[in-house]
């Protein structure tokens, strides 16, 4: 039963990642990987909110499997982040590669902390 929850979340998360990446990249004429950045930061926000919800008893283990493991696991992508960062560095866009690493880590952690804070405000 647990694996069905993970699959159900991934069925939504994977296409949403693809469609979001396409939509975001179409709006930006730059080599910076905005699409991956957006889905990763959004996933961090959702995971922070979910972590807070679980901490304060507002979400179950089943919700964690559905949203945390399934949805966010398929939505976010560390491998694409790594690939795009390496590609930027290899093609001479070292500034964008460095900016991608710093901005992704700072924004991702910030979004996770915001998600936990929102959960605390809602359910603590």
Per the annotation, does 73 bind a ligand?
yes
Handedness of CA 77, 74, 15, 49 (dihedral sign): negative
The residues spanned by each domain of the chain are 2-123
3-state secondary structure of 56: coil
- For the question of whether the overall pTM of this predicted structure is more than 0.75, the answer is yes
**How confident is the model over 23-43, as a mean pLDDT?**
96
Q: Model confidence over 52-104: pLDDT tens digits?
A: 999 999 999 999 999 999 999 999 999 999 999 999 999 999 999 999 999 99
Q: Which two tokens stand for residue 91?
A: 């093609």
The share of the chain scoring above pLDDT 90, in percent, equals: 98
* Closest to 103 (Cα-Cα) out of 91, 95, 114: 95
pLDDT of residue 1 exceeding 90:
no
Long-range pairs for 84-92: beta carbons < 8 A, 24 or more residues apart: 84/33, 84/36, 88/31, 88/32, 88/33, 91/31
Mean predicted lDDT score pLDDT of the chain: 97
Give the confidence band of 14 by pLDDT, cuts at 50, 70, 90.
very high
Query: Do the annotations mark residue 13 as ligand-binding?
Result: no
């Amino acid at each position: 039963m647990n694996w069905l929850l993970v699959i159900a979340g991934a069925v939504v998360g994977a296409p949403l990642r693809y469609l979001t990446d396409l939509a975001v990249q179409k709006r930006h004429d730059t080599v910076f990987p905005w699409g991956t950045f957006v889905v990763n930061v959004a996933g961090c926000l959702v995971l922070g909110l979910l972590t807070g919800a679980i901490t304060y008893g507002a979400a179950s283990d089943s919700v964690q499997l559905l949203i945390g493991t399934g949805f966010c696991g398929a939505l976010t992508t560390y491998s694409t982040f790594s690939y795009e960062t390496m590609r930027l560095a290899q093609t001479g866009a070292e500034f964008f590669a460095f900016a991608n690493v710093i901005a992704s880590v700072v924004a991702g952690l910030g979004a996770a902390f915001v998600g936990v804070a929102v959960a605390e405000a809602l359910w603590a």
